[in-house]
Structure 1
Amino acid sequence: MSPTGTSQHLLRLALSCRKITAQVTNPATESIVAMASSSEQEFVAQHRAKLSRFTRPHNFWFWDSKIASRVGEKLGLRLREIGVSDVEIDLSEELSRPIRHRRMVSPLIESVRRAGVCVAGADKLEL
């Protein structure tokens, strides 16, 4: 919960070696209000290019900080469109991730901030 006691929308990240998905849920209803993912059409061409370039795709991540940044930008714009200006991250969940994963998602969080959405708890991540 937020320090003021009001419930904010919750930003959750799902990471795999193939994609990164960011979704924002309404805490009262648990429904998803906005979502962005590296599996969207915009990223398909980049994904296919990496598949053809490397022979062993299971040994590397298909998304990187650049793609994470773009996903965050898209999420931030979608949040602004629906009037959401504050989100909160689950700090314990994010701190439980390995540091290399936190470094890869920090551009996503920064892009959401640049879009004008306040991300509560992000300043406590040690990146």
Structure 2
Amino acid sequence: MNKAVLMSTNHHVLRLVLSCRKITAQVTSPNTSSIIAMASSSEQDLASRYPTHLNRFPRSQLFWDAKLASHVGHKLALRLLDLAVTAVHIDVAEELSRPPHLRFRVWPLFVSVKRAGVVVHGADKLVFA
């Protein structure tokens, strides 16, 4: 097997699942493709923010924002560091295919993961022009 192909498939992958109600970040294992770490805005300590989003004016269709995405990223990074995972990869094409308003909201998640000490390969290729 080609070494470049082997290296490209042998890494932890960070994927985001977005809906209007929540944001979920999950990291999969390179060997089994199973989820090894996950953080979501619907977790107990972060879900308390929802009532404030329900009653704000002007109304918004999204219940999560960039600040909540940042908190989710920080929680995910702490869980990854507990598992001794120090680097993850993202699918740049998938992130660039998101609508611009969602890309701006998820960017703080990547920044907070980096700030906590986990390298996010591919995040530097995201362009928000």
In the superposition, the TM-score normalised over structure 1's length comes to: 0.89
Partner amino acid, structure 1, of 2:46: F
Correspondence for 2:22? 19
Is 1:104 matched up with 2:105? yes
Distance in 2 (CA, whole Å) between partners of 1:96 and 1:56 is: 27
Runs of 5+ unmatched residues, structure 2: none
Distance in 1 (CA, whole Å) between partners of 2:116 and 2:123 is: 15
Is 1:115 matched up with 2:119? no
Correspondence for 2:43? 40
| Shift in CA distance, 21/5, structure 1 to aligned 2, threshold 3 Å | closer
1:6 offset after TM fit, Å? 6.4
Number of residue-to-residue matches in the alignment: 125
Contact 2:9 2:30 in 1 (8 A): no
Runs of 5+ unmatched residues, structure 1: none
Can you list the C-alpha shifts for 1:30-78, whole angstroms capped at 9, x where unaligned?
1101000000001222112322x15996x42110010000000000010
Distance in 2 (CA, whole Å) between partners of 1:55 and 1:69 is: 22
Distance in 2 (CA, whole Å) between partners of 1:6 and 1:60 is: 36
Can you list the C-alpha shifts for 1:73-101, whole angstroms capped at 9, x where unaligned?
00001000110001000111111111211
In the superposition, the TM-score normalised over structure 2's length comes to: 0.88
| Shift in CA distance, 105/55, structure 1 to aligned 2, threshold 3 Å | closer
Partner amino acid, structure 1, of 2:45: E
| Shift in CA distance, 49/7, structure 1 to aligned 2, threshold 3 Å | same
Correspondence for 2:34? 31
Aligned-residue sequence identity (percent) comes to 55
Partner amino acid, structure 1, of 2:40: S
SS state at 1:14 partner: strand
Contact 2:12 2:27 in 1 (8 A): yes
Distance in 2 (CA, whole Å) between partners of 1:96 and 1:45 is: 30
| Structure 1 stretches of 4+ moved >4 Å | 54-57
SS state at 2:49 partner: helix
Distance in 2 (CA, whole Å) between partners of 1:21 and 1:84 is: 18
